[in-house]
Amino acid sequence: MKVAITGATGFVGSHLVQRLHGEGHQILVLTRNTAFAHKVFPSDAFPNLEIVAYTPTASDTWQSAFAGCDGVVNLAGEPIGEGRWTPERKQAILNSRKLGTQKIVEAIANANPKTAVATRGETPATHCLPSVLVNASAIGYYGTSETATFEETSPSGNDFLAQVCQTWEAEAQKVKEAGVRLVILRFGIVLGNGGALGKMITPFKLFAGGPIGSGQQWFSWIHIDDIVSLILQALTKSEMEGVYNATAPNPVRMTDLSQTLGQVINRPSWLPVPSFAIEALLGDGAIVVLEGQKVLPKRTLNSGFKYQYPNLQPALAEILK
């Protein structure tokens, strides 16, 4: 299988590349920074990987690289939880997903193996279009609530993140006009070495850890190994189509997360981080950590997906061992 990936040098993307490489698949990495990508994926360690420079928001010759790919995984997007949401930053968050996905869909629809192989001297592919697009989205689609429970069929929220996710998914839906199977994965908070957990664990190691804000907000999470396995299932299982929540089946409250994290690393969890401190640092972006949603992966479970880490304590213990 040959898979094209955007966002491949990111937290989830790099783990996905490692798994695909370990299973012997061909990988096409589309990146804005080829020098960095070559450092992350050196050719001697990743002989079946090709790196292509691309401009996510512009049509260009990079789009021809999709010819001959079996599937595409679109993980690219401006980081949401880092820094204040100035008007300019909010526009960048939206455009990176709207325009980025728009150009990916355009590339898939126009994939032509004869054009691509003419310059590379390869054997023409037996099919023109990738058969599947796995497109990231986020559980921010549902808005926030301390009382409601959300499944894949739940309506969208109306805050900024919900609007971003709606626009993001609407662009991805257009790939179906080309007869390509679409799987949208609404990511929860991905836990692994690095990412969100890497930022949370530092105060605990300094004996200053505790819940953020009220502690009653829901924390819908998923282990990095499970999100990678779910992406692989979406690529290969032709029955999967539509929206799936990429969250573990057992979300927790922020207080429970903090207590479990403290227990796993043998540190106290007694010093809460007040809401005003997060708001002063992140402004409107504080919603990412101060408010949450209880999201259940009903369609994901019904698809037959088997979680390796359905519960938080074993997941954290594996990551932090």
- The answer to the question of residue 314 being in a domain is no
More confident residue, 291 or 31: 31
Lowest mean pLDDT among 5-9, 83-87, 180-184: 83-87
Q: How many structural domains does the chain have?
A: 1
Provide the pairing of β-strand 218-219 with 2-6: unpaired
d(CA 193, CA 187): 17
d(CA 254, CA 210): 9
Indicate the pTM of the whole model.
Answer: 0.91
- The answer to the question of residue 146 being in a domain is yes
pLDDT attached to residue 125? 46
- The answer to the question of residue 28 being in a domain is yes
Q: Which residue has the tokens 């080829």?
A: 34
pLDDT in tens, 83-115: 788 899 999 999 999 999 999 999 999 986 544
Positions of E strands within the chain: 2-6, 26-31, 49-53, 71-74, 132-138, 149-150, 181-187, 189-192, 194, 218-219, 221-223, 242-246, 252-253, 294-295
Contacts of 164 (CB under 8 A, 6+ apart): 93, 94, 97, 140
Tokens of 86: 């100035």
pLDDT attached to residue 25? 97
pLDDT in tens, 135-169: 999 999 999 999 999 999 999 999 999 999 999 99
More confident residue, 160 or 284: 160
Cβ pair 193, 225 in contact under 8 A: no
**195: left (phi > 0), else alpha (psi -120 to 50), else beta?**
left
Integer angstrom CA distances of residue 77 from 69, 94, 99, 110: 22, 8, 10, 22
pLDDT in tens, 239-258: 999 999 999 999 999 899 88
- The answer to the question of residue 198 being in a domain is no
- Indicate whether 79 pLDDT > 80: yes
- The answer to the question of residue 174 being in a domain is yes
d(CA 249, CA 166): 23
pLDDT attached to residue 277? 60
Mean pLDDT (the chain, rounded): 89
Cβ pair 248, 227 in contact under 8 A: no
d(CA 2, CA 25): 6
d(CA 277, CA 27): 42
CATH label of the domain that carries residue 124: 3.40.50.720
- The answer to the question of residue 316 being in a domain is no
d(CA 136, CA 190): 13
- Indicate whether 120 pLDDT > 50: no
Q: Is the dihedral of CA 16, 296, 240, 55 positive or negative?
A: negative
Tokens of 16: 């996905």
pLDDT attached to residue 40? 97
Range of the domain at 184: 2-190+221-247+295-308
Three-state DSSP class for residue 243? strand
- The answer to the question of residue 200 being in a domain is no
pLDDT attached to residue 189? 92
- The answer to the question of residue 238 being in a domain is yes
Q: Is the dihedral of CA 177, 178, 179, 184 positive or negative?
A: negative
- Indicate whether 207 pLDDT > 70: no
pLDDT attached to residue 126? 47
